Amino acid sequence: MIRMSESETRSLDAVPPGGSASDARLVEDVRRGDHRAFEALVRRYETRLMSVLSRFVQDRELTRDLAQETFLRVFERIDQFDPSRRFGPWLFRIGVNLTLDHIRKRKRRVWPSLFSESRVEKGPDPEVADPREALDLEQEVRKVLESIPEKYRTVLILRDLENFSSSEIAAILHRKEATIRWRLAEARMRFQELWKRRQASSTTAPLGQDADIARSSSETEDESAEDLE
């Protein structure tokens, strides 16, 4: 891959907080009943986890609740974790699945929060000429993303907004890397198509209509081509 993703700096295998102990070592200690080891894992991953989950839910408190619930589940299932695998993807898988389940249950139409409440609260960024413009762009993008089917949108968010590598996403979503690449390409094409339509119609046509067009044009094709799993 040409792209040197930021995942190098924001890797799943985050090192401290929690000292220099490896994830595997900490997991081992947690299994022996060491709560401090679990605290180290929580502190090591919580920022990254909440950053990822905040892409999926708009509400900051909800993000925290989901992160908390994720860690609790991890604690409950720590015995089920395969120590020969990496801890990070396992944790993110639980978190992303929990969040997607939550969204499905609530059937909220407030899809991915590309901007957090906190950022809005912070007020205008002096580096942005017109903050309202930037906000509008974010809202526009969010609306387009909302109309992309979940399985593509999830990959798009993890790759293009959270900078996970394809192999990391494959580990998180428990899919083959080829499937992830397929979904990523599909997601980008759908985004491009919807964005183009939206710009062309200057918001005169309802987006849902666009989405339907985009979906009907390639859904059948994807499903057959995506049998890579």
Partner 1 sequence: MNPLKILNNECRKTRHLLALSAGNDVDAREVVGLERHLAVCPQCRELQQELRHSQQILEAVQPAGAMADQDFTSVWSGVSRQIRRLEQQPTSHDWRNWMPTLTLAAACLALMVGVVMPMRPSGGSSILNNNNGIMSGPLPTDPIGEGVRPQKQRPTSYSYYMSNRDF
Interface with partner 1 includes 51 (CB under 8 A)? yes
By CB under 8 A, the residues from 194 to 213 that bind partner 1 are 195-196
The CA-to-CA distance between both ends of the chain, in Å, stands at 22
Instruction: Look up residue 79 and give its two tokens.
Output: 């015995």
For partner 1, the closer of residues 107 and 200 by Cβ is: 200
- Please count the other Cβ atoms lying within 10 Å of the Cβ belonging to residue 4: 9
| Site string (137-176) toward partner 1, x via CB under 8 A | xx--x--------------x--xxxx---x----------
At 59, the amino acid letter reads: D
The tally of CA atoms less than 13 A away on the side-chain side of residue 209 is 7
* 142, 114 Cβ separation under 8 angstroms: yes
For partner 1, the closer of residues 93 and 188 by Cβ is: 188
Instruction: Look up residue 187 and give its two tokens.
Output: 């997601």
CB of 140 to partner 1, least distance (A): 8
CB of 84 to partner 1, least distance (A): 25
The tally of CA atoms less than 13 A away on the side-chain side of residue 82 is 5
The whole-angstrom separation of Cα 171 and Cα 53 is 17
Interface with partner 1 includes 188 (CB under 8 A)? yes
Closest CA to 56 of 112, 140, 118, 135: 112
Candidate residues 76, 79, 82, 223; the one interacting with partner 1 per rule CB under 8 A: 76
Candidate residues 111, 186, 211, 214; the one interacting with partner 1 per rule CB under 8 A: 186
Q: How many residues bind partner 1 (CB under 8 A)?
A: 49
The whole-angstrom separation of Cα 89 and Cα 14 is 11
By CB under 8 A, the residues from 20 to 39 that bind partner 1 are 35, 38-39
Find the helix or strand (DSSP H, E) in which 193 lies. helix 177-201
Interface with partner 1 includes 86 (CB under 8 A)? no
Peptide linkage before 83 cis (omega within 30 of 0): no
Candidate residues 26, 37, 54, 89; the one interacting with partner 1 per rule CB under 8 A: 54
For partner 1, the binding residues (CB under 8 A) are 1-3, 35, 38-39, 42-43, 46-47, 50-51, 54-55, 60, 63-64, 67-68, 71-72, 75-76, 114-116, 118-119, 134, 137-138, 141, 156, 159-162, 166, 181-182, 184-186, 188-189, 191-192, 195-196
